[in-house]
Amino acid sequence: QVQLVESGGGSVKPGGSLRLSCAASGFIFSNYYMNWVRQAPGKGLEWVAYISSSSTFIDYADSVRGRFTISRDNAEKSLYLQMNSLRVEDTAVYYCMGGPGPGDYWGQGTLVTVSS
């Protein structure tokens, strides 16, 4: 069955870095655009970034542009989010999301906490 499993979350101080990973299985990962979406505690959903199937097209939310980098390895069926210069306001559960249709597949999320 389809699975997206995020990892790499944790606690970090402001200014620090983390790299999130999302391992895909059960579908042809290399065919589809993938996204990162986050949700701060008690808040709504925020789209963070997307990457096209062959990494040709990438875009970011203004709130993370220049600090976060999305990438993928189709051979490994994995999606990544390198997060640098982290801020307190980046604290959130980070979800990977994608698939053949909009919002088809979501991971369970990984919590990133940025605190001094």
Partner 1 sequence: IQLTQSPSSLSASVGDRVTITCRASQDISSNLVWYQQKPGKAPNLLIYDASTLQSGVPSRFSGSGSGTDFILTISSLQPEDFTSYYCQQLNSYPHTFGQGTKLEIK
Contact call for residue 102 and partner 1 (CB under 8 A): yes
Q: Is 72 helix (H, G, I), strand (E, B) or coil?
A: strand
How many angstroms separate the Cα of 27 from the Cα of each of 15, 54, 57, 58, 111? Answer: 36, 16, 21, 21, 25
Site string for partner 1, 4-43 (x = CB under 8 A): -------------------------------x--------
Q: Which of 2, 28, 40, 45 touches partner 1 (CB under 8 A)?
A: 45
Considering the complex, what minimum distance in angstroms separates the CB of residue 18 from partner 1? 20
CA 2/CA 116 separation, integer angstroms: 37
Spatial contact of 93 and 38, defined as CB atoms under 8 Å apart:
yes
CA 41/CA 26 separation, integer angstroms: 30
Q: Which of 16, 47, 74, 87 touches partner 1 (CB under 8 A)?
A: 47
Spatial contact of 75 and 81, defined as CB atoms under 8 Å apart:
no
- Near partner 1 in 53-92, by CB under 8 A: 59-62
Report the amino acid identity of residue 85: S
Q: Which of 18, 83, 98, 107 touches partner 1 (CB under 8 A)?
A: 107
Residues at the site binding partner 1, with contacts judged by CB under 8 A: 35, 44-47, 50, 59-62, 95, 97, 101-104, 106-109
